[in-house]
């Protein structure tokens, strides 16, 4: 657990916290506020992300995700829910360009090996390998 550096990109701050604690596989949970945000949603039929830029201060109501490997490097996959002063919400996939105003993050290290994301031809995404129920 740790506070996140003011002004630092949220995703970078989370990965830096993991690196500082020698964590390469974790569940991520964070709350706080951001100065503005970039998020995206995956258009399944088109197999591409649609990005949205939110140019206002926002509450970080929730940031949930995981850290694993992609191309042999630590990779953060996180989704955020962001709140406005009027109580309305926006949410999606966390993208670079989301500076922390204030934040607190908990990393829960996961045991059992570090999954490496691989290309999934059904979705067009880099996903964790599927495992059969009850075993390998």
pLDDT of residue 132: 67
Residue 70 has phi, psi (to 5 degrees) of -140, 125
In a domain, 136, yes or no: no
Domain holding 64, by residue range, is 2-127
pLDDT of residue 16: 97
- In the chain, how many domains are there? 1
Q: Cα dist. 77→26, 51, 65, 86, 100 in Å?
A: 11, 15, 5, 28, 17
pLDDT of residue 14: 98
pLDDT of residue 88: 98
User: How high is the mean pLDDT in each 10-residue block of the chain (136 residues)?
Assistant: 96 97 96 98 96 98 96 95 98 98 97 90 91 64
Q: Which one-letter DSSP state was computed for residue 105?
A: E
In a domain, 118, yes or no: yes
User: What stretches of the chain show up as alpha helix (H) in DSSP?
Assistant: 10-20
pLDDT of residue 58: 98
pLDDT of residue 61: 98
In a domain, 21, yes or no: yes
């Amino acid at each position: 657990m740790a506070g996140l550096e003011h002004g630092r990109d949220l995703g970078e701050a989370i990965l830096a916290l993991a690196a500082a604690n020698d964590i390469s596989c974790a569940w991520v949970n964070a709350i706080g506020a951001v100065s503005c945000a970039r998020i995206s949603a995956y258009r399944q039929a088109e197999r591409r992300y649609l990005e949205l830029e939110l140019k206002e201060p926002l509450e970080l109501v929730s940031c949930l995700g995981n850290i694993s490997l992609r191309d042999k490097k630590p990779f953060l996959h996180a989704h955020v829910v962001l709140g406005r002063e009027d109580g309305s919400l926006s949410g999606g996939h966390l993208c670079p360009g989301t500076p922390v105003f204030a934040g607190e993050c908990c990393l829960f290290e996961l045991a059992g090996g570090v999954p490496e994301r691989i290309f999934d031809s059904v979705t067009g995404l880099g996903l964790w390998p599927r495992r059969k129920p009850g075993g390998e």
